[in-house]
A and B are shown apart, each in its own frame.
Chain A
Amino acid sequence: MSHHAAAADRPLGVGILGAGPVTQAIHLPALARLGDVLEVRHIMDVDAAVASSVAARVGAKSSTSMDELLGDPDVDIVAICSPHHFHADQVIAACKAGKKAVLCEKPFAMNGGEAARISAVSAETGVPIVVGAMHTFDPGWLAAEQNWGNLPETAHTIRSSIVLPPNARFEDFATEIVTRPAAGRRDYSDIEVIKAALQGGIMGLAIHDLPLVRRFTPDFEQVEVLQARHVRPFGYTVSLRTPSRVIELRAVMNGTWKPEWTFEAIADDSALRIDFTPSYVQAGSAVATFTRRDGSETTSFGPYGHNGYEGEWRELAGLANGTRQAPSAQTLIDDLTFALSIAEATVATGAADHANATRTAGVSA
Chain B
Amino acid sequence: MSAQFTVQATPAAREAGAVTQTVASLPETFGPVPAGHTGPADVLVVAGSGGWTAEAAGAVQSGARGIMVANPIPEDTSELAAVADAAGAVVVLDLRWAANPALVAEGSGPDARAAVRSGLGSASLLDSVATAPPGTDPRQLLSDHLAALLAVTGQLDGVAVLRGDASGYTVSGRLANGAPFTAQGVLTAARPAGVDIRLYTADGGVDVQVPDPDAAWPAEVRVTGPHGNLLLPTLYESAHRFSWRRLKEHLSAGTRPDDLAGFARLTDLYATLTAT
Contacts and interface: CB of A to CB of B under 8 A. Distances in A.
B179 A254 contact: no
Contact of B127 (A157, A161, A227, A268): A161
Q: Give the size range of A's interface with the partner.
A: 35 or more
A229 B170 contact: no
A362 interface: no
Contact of A226 (B125, B163, B192): B163
B6 interface: no
Interface stretch (B67-75, B87-95, B182-190, B249-257): B182-190
A268 B167 CA distance: 8
B100 interface: no
Interface stretch (A9-17, A63-71, A125-133, A286-294): A286-294
B127 A246 contact: no
Interface stretch (B17-25, B58-66, B201-209): B201-209
A291 B189 CA distance: 9
A357 interface: yes
Interface in B155-212: 158, 162-163, 165-168, 170, 172, 174, 178-180, 182, 184, 186-193, 200-205
A128 to B, nearest CB: 37
A235 B192 CA distance: 29
Given A232-B179, A291-B191, A237 B186 contact: no
Contacts of A100: none
Interface in A115-162: 156-157, 159, 161
Contacts of A241: 163
Interface in A289-303: 291-296
Contacts of A207: none
A60 interface: no
A233 interface: yes
A269 B188 contact: yes
10 contacts: A226-B162, A226-B170, A231-B180, A231-B200, A235-B125, A248-B184, A256-B224, A257-B204, A269-B190, A291-B191
Interface of B: 124-125, 127, 129, 133-134, 158, 162-163, 165-168, 170, 172, 174, 178-180, 182, 184, 186-193, 200-205, 224, 226, 229
